[in-house]
Every structure is written in C-alpha cells, then in structure tokens.
C-alpha cells in the first residue's frame, strides 16, 4: 500500500495538494480538518465541541481524531492506499497511526512536508478567510496561534519521521501545478 502523510503548517496547501495526489495515485483522501468540519455542519455534539476548539486555533484532543481515523481505516474499502491530510498532528497521533496501519499489515510510506515561510502562510490564510467562511481563518490572532501550535506540537513530528528515514521536504511556494509536480516526482521516486 502507498500511505502518504501530507504535512506542513496551516496554509501550506495540504488540502489542495492532497486532492491532486489522491487523484494521481488513486488514494483515499482522509482529512481530519474536513471530518471535523462535517461534524460542525451537522451540529453534532462532537461538532459543537470541535467548533469551540478550532475557532481558537487549538488542537482537538488526540483521542477524538484518532478514533475518526480508526473508523475510516476500519471501513472496508478497496484502495491502493491513503493520503493523510492534517493528521497526524502530534507525536501520540503519529504513534497511533503506526499502530492502526500495522493492524492492517501496512505502514506510512513517506511524510511529505510542504515548506512555506510564516509571512506567506499568514497572507494565504487571511486571503482564504475572505471567502472560506472558516472562523479559524478570519482573524490574525487565531492564525498566529495556529502557527504557534504547529511549531510547538506538530513540528516535532519532523524528527519522528526523519528518524525512520521517511521525512521528505517539498518546496511549497510557487504555482499549484509546480508544487503538485514536485510531490508527484517525490512519490514516484519512492
Ligand atoms: P489547517 O491545516 O489549515 O489548519 P485543517 O483543516 O487541517 O486546516 O485543520 C483545521 C483545524 O482542525 C485545526 O486548527 C485543528 O483545530 C483541527 N484539527 C484538524 N486535524 C487535527 C488533528 N489531527 N488533531 C487535532 N486537531 C485537528
């Protein structure tokens, strides 16, 4: 199986590129952000809880997102692999993903990290906020907090995957097509 972890700070372009990669390699796209937003739209109890956390730019508890991914992996579906977008975001989530995949006799193939500098990220997120309707894109303080949370809790995963020889940096600035081509090339070289 080909299991890609698409990684990078908020605004790096994970969602956009994950859709492209899923199409190119026939993978099932799993985005914890999208799954949480579906819960918010459906106004479930989980959605209400997630909405409060997401609008502050904090992370939803590990146990919740891990259960969501577990449920998806346990749903029988024929696929050549998965693309994980926005997950894992903490070391416990990465460990849980390894265990879940192991149960399915599989593993993470590579972690593709989109590199984008902070100024560019803030600009992109504020721009997206004008049209996305996402409360977490709407103000500079929340965006700043999301980037800080990323640096504190999520960036340590770079070491986690680097130690396994799975960390792969991809330049995330440029045209969408160019970045997509860089990602495709990295996967084809695996
Ligand atoms: P972005 O990468 O632009 O922040 P996402 O859609 O991936 O967008 O995530 C939006 C928000 O959803 C995050 O800021 C966080 O609050 C929550 N979230 C998404 N995925 C996770 C996760 N794996 N663990 C904890 N919280 C998550």
pLDDT at 12 over 90: yes
> For position 58, what pLDDT does the model report?
98
Q: What is the pTM of this model?
A: 0.97
Q: State the distance from the centre of ligand 1 to the C-alpha of 73, rounded, in angstroms.
A: 19
Residue 84 phi, psi dihedral angles, 5° rounding: -95, 120
Q: Which two tokens stand for residue 25?
A: 């390699």
Of the candidates 117, 110, 115, 116, which has an alpha carbon nearest to the alpha carbon of residue 186?
110
Question: Over the stretch 125-183, which tens digit does the pLDDT of each residue have?
Answer: 999 999 999 999 988 999 999 999 999 999 999 999 999 999 999 999 999 999 999 99
Torsional class of 60: left (φ above 0), alpha (ψ -120 to 50), beta (otherwise): beta
> For position 73, what pLDDT does the model report?
94
Q: State the distance from the centre of ligand 1 to the C-alpha of 8, rounded, in angstroms.
A: 11
Write down the residue that tokens 């390699």 correspond to.
25
Residue 78's pLDDT band, with cuts at 50, 70 and 90, is confident
More confident residue, 76 or 1: 1
Q: Which of 36, 71, 121, 149 to mutate to test the pocket of ligand 1 (most atoms within 8 A of CB)?
A: 36
Write down the residue that tokens 């959605």 correspond to.
47
Q: For CA atoms 104, 106, 112, 113, give the dihedral sign.
A: positive
Residue 171 phi, psi dihedral angles, 5° rounding: -65, 120
| Ligand 1 pocket check for 101: Cβ under 6 Å | no
Question: Over the stretch 87-105, which tens digit does the pLDDT of each residue have?
Answer: 999 999 999 999 999 999 9
Rounded Cα distance, 52 and 45, in Å: 11
| Ligand 1 pocket check for 7: Cβ under 6 Å | no
| Ligand 1 pocket check for 54: Cβ under 6 Å | yes
What average pLDDT does the segment 11-28 reach? 97
| Ligand 1 pocket check for 10: Cβ under 6 Å | yes
| Ligand 1 pocket check for 59: Cβ under 6 Å | yes
Strand partners, 5: 84, 111
CA 167 to chain CA mean position, Å: 15
Of the candidates 32, 41, 100, which has an alpha carbon nearest to the alpha carbon of residue 60?
32
Write down the residue that tokens 């991914």 correspond to.
69
Q: Would strands 28-31 and 167-171 be described as parallel, antiparallel, or unpaired?
A: unpaired
State percent of the chain over pLDDT 90. 95
pLDDT at 77 over 90: no
What average pLDDT does the segment 13-38 reach? 97
Query: With contact defined as beta carbons under 8 Å apart, do 151 and 59 qualify?
Result: no
Rounded Cα distance, 125 and 147, in Å: 11
Crossing angle (nearest 10°) for helices 176-188 and 14-25: 50
């Amino acid at each position: 199986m080909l299991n890609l972890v698409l990684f990078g700070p908020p605004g790096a372009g994970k969602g956009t590129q994950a859709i492209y990669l899923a199409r190119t390699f026939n993978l099932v796209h799993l985005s914890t952000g999208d799954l949480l937003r579906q819960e918010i739209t459906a106004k479930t109890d989980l959605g209400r809880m997630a909405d409060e956390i997401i609008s502050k730019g904090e992370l939803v508890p590990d146990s919740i997102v891990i259960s969501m991914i577990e449920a998806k992996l346990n749903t029988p579906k024929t696929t050549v692999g998965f693309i994980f977008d926005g997950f894992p975001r903490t070391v416990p989530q990465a460990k849980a993903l390894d265990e879940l995949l192991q149960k399915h006799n599989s593993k993470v193939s590579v972690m593709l990290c989109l590199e984008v500098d902070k100024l560019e990220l803030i600009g992109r997120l504020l721009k997206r906020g004008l049209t996305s309707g996402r409360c977490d894109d709407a103000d500079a303080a929340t965006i700043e907090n999301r980037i800080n949370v990323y640096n504190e809790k999520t960036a340590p995963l770079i070491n986690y995957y680097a130690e396994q020889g799975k960390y792969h940096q991809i330049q995330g600035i440029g045209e969408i097509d160019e970045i997509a081509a860089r990602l495709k090339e990295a996967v084809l070289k695996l």
